[in-house]
Every structure is written in structure tokens, then in C-alpha cells.
């Protein structure tokens, strides 16, 4: 496909925690790309789209300024940048939180104990805001990496940093005091004017991402059962719509097909079995439009 000024441009992280999942998601919604290796702009083979591969910190501003119409980036990064963009959708990956952490056993039990202290962080804007909201004044020491070592080096009394499991904090003798912000990867969109043909593509991508997310939340379930057990079985299935019930060749037996939430499928399966279902099969769903 020929690329031109009119291509919908999507910013994604070049090489980092969000890159692989973002590229997988784009491919899963039907966008095909050539090799990403050593490239900054990657054309899409089957749509008038191009990817801009950059550092995640630059994504909110590129989208804000309309250089890219869309961006895939952590909410933490957009929030710190105070970017004027619209978050279209949370993507369910890259989950983490921005937390205040302090050295263990040093008598700091609440945020108030940090009044007047030095806080090392890569998130000075969100950090200052958070302390200011509680009427506390602090001095932020801006560090771009390995923030967790700052208290040991006596560069700071506490830190704020991105945490997912908390393992890094523990290794460095730190404990979490409180959460400033919960985050996940988001699809963000520019607030600048978007030409109609690009908006159409954005709507299509958004609809497909939605179908994908809906499918991930659901499983397709099939089972056989005696016809007189159908009512009892249907009560168990927390279906979006009423289940499909099909007669089987075997006398008084039916097949029941339905959709159930992924998170409940073990419970549902056991309950169905106890209520007389046999041959229960549960399948993943590729895409789902409700």
C-alpha cells in the first residue's frame, strides 16, 4: 500500500514492556506490518496506516500535537505528561501502579511523616500533585532510572516509582506506603481535528479491539443434556443471550450452546455437570461483537 500524508499514524513504544503486546494486538485486529527491525516508521501492508516507533515518554506529546492520531502508551506516562489527549480504551495489559515507597523500619508510617522530605522519582508532576493535595510540601529529586536505590545512597528519604509485583522494592529494602495512580496500557487519540477517512479507520480499529476484548472475557460452551434438564441448566448459565438448544438424534437429548464469562468457567462447568450435563466442551472465542 502506498503511504502518504494521509496515512493514519499510530505511535507505539519502540522497545520496551508494552511493545510486544501492542504489536500482537494490532496484528490480532487485522493490521499487517513488514519487519519492525531498525525502523522508525513502519508502513501497514493492508491499510493506510503507519506505525511510529518511539520512546514511550514521547508518545503523549506526539498524539497531543497531532503528529500521530493514535498512540498506545501507559496511563502513567500520559498522566505525568498532562497531555491533552483522549483515552479511548484501556487495554488490559501493562498493569502497574505509581506508589510511594519508603525504607523499611525507619519510622515512616504515613504520608504526613514525609512532610519536608526529599522524594526521588521519575514522576515529579504526579508526585508533587499527590503530596500537595494532602497539604504536604516535599522536594522532588528527579531521576530517570534505578530510582529505588536513591534512599540507600542517601540521595532521598523516599521514592515514588512504578510497581507491578513489588519485587524490586523488596529487594531494595523498601515498602509501599500508598498508591498515587493505578495504570494500564491505553489507546489514546489526538484532540486535534481528524479527517473523515482517518476517523473511519480509527472507528474500525476501535470496534475490532472491542470485539477482541469481549472475546477474551468469554468462552463458548457446548454440552449435551436430557431435554427435561434444560430449564435447570439454563438457570446456571450466566449467558449474554438465551442459549441455543438443539435436538439430538438420541431420544429426548438436546445440545445446549452458549457463552459464559471466562472467569467463571470452572464453577459453571461443575454446576452444569452436577445438574445433568454431559460432554461439556469449552472453547476460546476469537472475536465477539455483542
What residues contact residue 53 under an 8 Å CB cut-off, 6+ apart? 12, 13, 14, 36, 39, 40, 41, 42
Using the minimum distance from each CB to ligand ATP, give the nearer residue, 93 or 265: 93
Please identify which residue in 45, 55, 192, 197 interacts with ligand ATP, judged by CB under 6 A: 55
152 binds, among ligand ATP, Zn ion, none (CB under 5 to 8 A by kind): none
CB of 98 closer than 8 Å to CB of 123: yes
Q: Is residue 143 close enough to count as binding ligand ATP by CB under 6 A?
A: no
**For residues 91-120, which are near ligand ATP according to CB under 6 A?**
94, 96
Handedness of CA 68, 40, 14, 204 (dihedral sign): positive
Number of residues that bind ligand ATP (CB under 6 A): 15
Question: Using CB under 5 A as the criterion, which residues of the chain lie in contact with Zn ion when the complex forms?
Answer: 56-57
CA distance 71 to 62: 8
Side-chain-facing half-sphere of 43: CA atoms under 13 Å: 10
Q: Is residue 77 close enough to count as binding ligand ATP by CB under 6 A?
A: yes
Question: In this structure, what are the phi and psi dihedrals at residue 136, rounded to the nearest 5 degrees?
Answer: -110, 140
What residues contact residue 64 under an 8 Å CB cut-off, 6+ apart? 81, 83, 84, 85, 190, 191
**For residues 260-289, which are near ligand ATP according to CB under 6 A?**
none
Please identify which residue in 10, 11, 18, 44 interacts with ligand ATP, judged by CB under 6 A: 18
Least distance to ligand ATP, CB of residue 143, Å: 13
Q: Is residue 183 close enough to count as binding ligand ATP by CB under 6 A?
A: yes
162 binds, among ligand ATP, Zn ion, none (CB under 5 to 8 A by kind): ligand ATP
Using the minimum distance from each CB to ligand ATP, give the nearer residue, 98 or 223: 98
277 binds, among ligand ATP, Zn ion, none (CB under 5 to 8 A by kind): none
CB of 123 closer than 8 Å to CB of 163: no
Pairing of the two strands 158-163 and 118-121: parallel
Per CB under 6 A, residues contacting ligand ATP are: 13, 16-18, 55-57, 74, 76-77, 94, 96, 162, 164, 183
Amino acid at each position: 500500500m502506498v503511504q502518504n500524508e494521509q496515512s493514519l499514524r499510530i505511535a507505539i513504544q519502540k522497545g520496551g514492556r508494552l511493545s510486544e503486546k501492542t504489536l500482537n494486538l494490532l496484528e490480532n485486529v487485522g493490521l499487517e506490518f513488514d519487519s519492525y527491525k531498525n525502523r522508525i516508521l513502519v508502513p501497514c501492508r493492508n491499510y493506510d496506516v503507519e506505525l511510529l516507533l518511539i520512546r514511550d515518554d514521547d508518545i503523549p506529546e506526539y498524539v497531543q500535537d497531532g503528529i500521530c492520531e493514535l498512540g498506545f502508551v501507559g496511563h502513567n506516562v500520559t498522566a505525568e505528561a498532562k497531555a491533552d489527549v483522549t483515552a479511548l480504551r484501556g487495554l488490559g495489559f501493562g498493569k502497574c501502579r505509581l506508589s510511594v515507597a519508603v525504607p523499611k523500619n525507619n519510622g515512616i508510617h504515613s504520608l504526613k511523616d514525609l512532610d519536608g522530605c526529599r522524594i526521588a522519582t521519575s514522576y515529579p508532576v504526579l508526585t508533587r500533585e499527590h503530596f500537595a493535595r494532602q497539604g504536604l510540601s516535599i522536594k522532588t529529586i528527579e531521576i530517570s532510572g534505578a530510582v529505588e536505590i536513591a534512599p540507600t545512597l542517601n540521595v532521598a528519604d523516599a521514592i515514588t516509582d512504578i510497581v507491578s509485583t513489588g519485587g524490586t522494592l523488596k529487594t531494595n529494602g523498601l515498602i509501599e506506603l500508598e498508591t498515587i495512580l493505578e495504570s494500564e496500557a491505553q489507546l489514546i487519540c489526538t484532540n486535534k481535528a481528524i479527517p473523515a477517512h482517518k476517523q473511519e479507520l480509527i472507528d474500525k480499529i476501535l470496534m475490532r479491539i472491542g470485539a477482541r476484548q469481549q472475546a477474551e472475557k468469554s468462552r463458548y460452551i457446548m454440552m449435551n443434556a436430557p431435554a427435561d434438564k434444560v430449564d435447570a441448566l439454563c438457570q446456571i448459565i450466566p449467558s449474554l443471550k438465551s442459549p441455543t438448544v438443539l435436538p439430538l438424534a438420541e431420544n429426548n437429548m438436546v445440545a445446549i450452546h452458549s457463552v459464559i464469562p471466562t472467569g467463571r468457567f470452572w464453577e459453571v462447568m461443575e454446576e452444569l455437570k452436577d445438574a445433568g450435563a454431559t460432554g461439556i466442551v469449552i472453547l476460546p472465542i476469537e472475536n465477539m461483537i455483542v
